[in-house]
Each structure stands twice: as C-alpha cells, then as structure tokens.
Amino acid sequence: MTKKILFLVLLFVITAIIPSYAQIYYKKNQPQNRSQYNTQYGSRYYNQYNNQYNNQYNNQYNNQYNNQYNNQYNNQYNYNRQYNNQYQQNDSNIEMQMNYQDQMMINQMAATHPVDNRYDQFLSIISNKFNNVGRYVFTNYDSKDSRYVVMPGVFGYNAVSFHKSIVIDSLLMEVDKRLAMGMAYYGKIDTPYTRQLGQRTIQLWQQINNGTLRINTQNQYNIFDLPEIPGRLNPNQQKLAELYFEHIVAAVLAHEGSHIFLEHTKKKMLTQQKLWQQGQGNMNQIQQYMNVNFTKEKEYEADLYGLKLLKRAGYSREGMVAWFRFADILESISGTLYQANRDHPTGAERIEQVNRTWNSL
Ligand SMILES: [Zn+2]
C-alpha cells in the first residue's frame, strides 16, 4: 500500500518536473535565443534604407534639407577645427561626424538618382544569411549598424562603402545578373557574350562619369539597355543563373561590408585628421572622404574578411572569383577605369588570395 502511494507520488513528481524542466530548457536554449536573434539582430544589421527614408530625400524639400545638413556639418566641423588643439576628440564625436557625412552623401545622391527598390527582397536574403553569422567574423558586428541602398547611374559598375553605408549602383546589379546568366548558358565566364557585356558596361560607365547618361527621377531604372544572351535558359540553367547571381552579389556585399566592420573609412579619416592637426593636411584632404581610396592592403583585408563571411554564411568562393575575373575583363577593355576609381589590386591578384586562403578560413 505505502509502496503504491510512494510510486504514485514519485510518478506525479516525475511527470510534473520533467515537462517543466524540459520546457525551461527548451525556452532558454532554443526559441528564446532564436526569436531574439531574428528580431534584434536580423533586422538591425545589414539593413536597407527603407522606403520612407528614400521618399524623404526625393521630395521637394530636398535642397532645404541638404543645406540644413551642410550647415550643421560645417558648424560641427569648424567647431572641431577651432578647438582641436585644446581637446582630444573622443570616439563618439568622430562617429557623429562620420554619420553626418554618410547621411549627407546619401541625401545628395538620392536627390539626383531615384532609389532602386527592385532588389530589396533579393538583398534581404543575402543580408539575413550574413546577420546570422556576422558575429563570428567581426567582433563588433552586433554593435555596429550597417545599411545599403541601390541607385542607378551613381557610380557606374561599382559599389562603394562609406562609414556605415553601402551604396550599390543598379548597373552593377543588372550587369552581374547578366554575367550570371552568361555563365549558366555557356558554362564558363570568358565568352564573346561576356566581352560584349563588358564593352557595354564600359560605355555606360563612361556616360555616367561624363554626365551624358541622365537619370530621370521618375523610377526609370531600365536605362541601361544591356546585351541579352542569344538563347533561352532551360530550367536548370535558370536555377544556376539565379545561384551565380546571388553568389556574385553576396561577394560584393561581403567585401563592402568588411570595409565597414573593419572600420576602414574611420581609420582613414583619423589618419587624415592627425595629418591635418600636425599642419600637413588641409580641408580638401579631409573632405576627400567621399572618394575614399583605400590602400591595396585594405582591399586585400576586405577581401579576406569578406571570404570569411561568405564561407560562414554558406557561400562558395565562386561568386568572388567571377566578380574579379569580370573586373579584369573590364580592365582589359577600358584600360584602368576599374582600378582608377578605387585603387584595387587586379582581379588576378585578388583571385590568387581567394584560392590561397579559402581552405584555411
Ligand atoms: Zn574595396
């Protein structure tokens, strides 16, 4: 009798305890962390500028807003200049200045180039993959907010990273899409089609540089008239083209994001400020922030960390290799256009690093 009661008590205790323990354990280790991850990290890092933001800068108050920003920034800048010798600028001051600069530039670009939202969903897929693993590659990933925006005809075939913002030209997206289609159709990168695509890219790039390609702000994204591959892709090739496209764009985004998380713009800015404080620089030098030319060393570093991010996020190295091979094709058509912009190493040099480091990342 007592044994039976004891057994029932024990059974009650066991059934009462085990599920509640299991529940606590489950909550603690799975759903809680996961939802935290999605809501906090999933949306905070590698964000895109949202529509509200874009529209804000495309409206008629744009000039007024820009002037306001310019004045605000200039005041801040003059203040710093005046008191530079009296106090050491702290980090938050510098962050503030650089955030102003980022905002100012995005405003100015958005005033003349309509923001291209066509790739938002596609870029979100890549960003989410990065957001899930970014903390394993960059120690500051969770504390640093980075954003991207796509605009047509703003840089040519290029993506540029500033302090916290990545600006991608629609031309890069459109050309890479066709590069991927060509790769899927022909089964290789170097083909007459790729060269034809490269020639048209250079043509458009030059038109963007000399201002003859005018962007209508009424959402006219399809202004590039790029060559099409000669036939239709079969379903397998179609799938492959989509995959290649994602891998190429992921490589671009990983490289530019690495400049941000490695704080390359900030380091460059600090060096310039130091020069200027020592009387060796000038205002112009500091304002060249907009045309940041990173050193080759910084480019290799961004490639390396970009590769780490890609590998962690489940991408292959092929996207980056295709991007660099196409860069060399552009280079061979145009001379030095690609390098002149950013002082990047050649595609072949960069591919060499990819292949040398990939297995040990
Ligand atoms: Zn770079």
Give the per-residue pLDDT at 244. 97
In this structure, the number of other CB atoms found within 10 A of the CB of residue 128 comes to: 16
Separation of CA 79 and ligand 1 centre (Å): 32
Sketch the domain layout of the chain as residue ranges: 1-44, 48-360
pLDDT digits (tens, 9 = 90+) for 300-331: 999 999 999 999 999 999 999 999 999 999 98
Separation of CA 267 and ligand 1 centre (Å): 14
pLDDT digits (tens, 9 = 90+) for 214-223: 777 665 677 8
Separation of CA 289 and ligand 1 centre (Å): 14
Q: Is pLDDT of 26 > 70?
A: no
Separation of CA 132 and ligand 1 centre (Å): 23
If one compares 114 and 89, the residue with the highest pLDDT of the two is 114
Separation of CA 294 and ligand 1 centre (Å): 7
Q: What are residue 239's phi and psi, to 5 degrees? A: -60, -45
Separation of CA 191 and ligand 1 centre (Å): 26
Q: Is 314 helix (H, G, I), strand (E, B) or coil?
A: coil
CA atoms within 13 A on the CB side of 18: 6
Using the structure block, give the residue that is written with the tokens 């529940």.
23
What percent of the chain shows pLDDT beyond 90? Answer: 45
232 close to 65: Cβ distance less than 8 angstroms:
no
The CA distance from 245 to 249, in Å, is 6
**pLDDT classification of 183: cutoffs 50, 70, 90:** very high
Q: What is the DSSP letter of 114?
A: -
Separation of CA 159 and ligand 1 centre (Å): 9
Q: What is the DSSP letter of 37?
A: I
Please report, in angstroms and rounded to a whole number, the separation of the first and last CA atoms in the chain.
66
Separation of CA 195 and ligand 1 centre (Å): 23
Q: Which amino acid, 123?
A: L
C-alpha gyration radius of the chain? 25
Separation of CA 80 and ligand 1 centre (Å): 29
The CA distance from 238 to 52, in Å, is 34
**pLDDT classification of 31: cutoffs 50, 70, 90:** very low
Separation of CA 150 and ligand 1 centre (Å): 17
Separation of CA 243 and ligand 1 centre (Å): 23
**Beta partners for 151?**
169
Separation of CA 202 and ligand 1 centre (Å): 19
Where would I find the H helices in 40-166? 42-44, 51-58, 62-83, 91-112, 120-137
The CA distance from 172 to 226, in Å, is 11
Separation of CA 155 and ligand 1 centre (Å): 14
Q: Is 161 helix (H, G, I), strand (E, B) or coil?
A: strand
The strand pair at 147-151 and 47-48 is best described as parallel
Using the structure block, give the residue that is written with the tokens 């001051």.
93
pLDDT (mean) for 4-13 = 50
Separation of CA 107 and ligand 1 centre (Å): 22
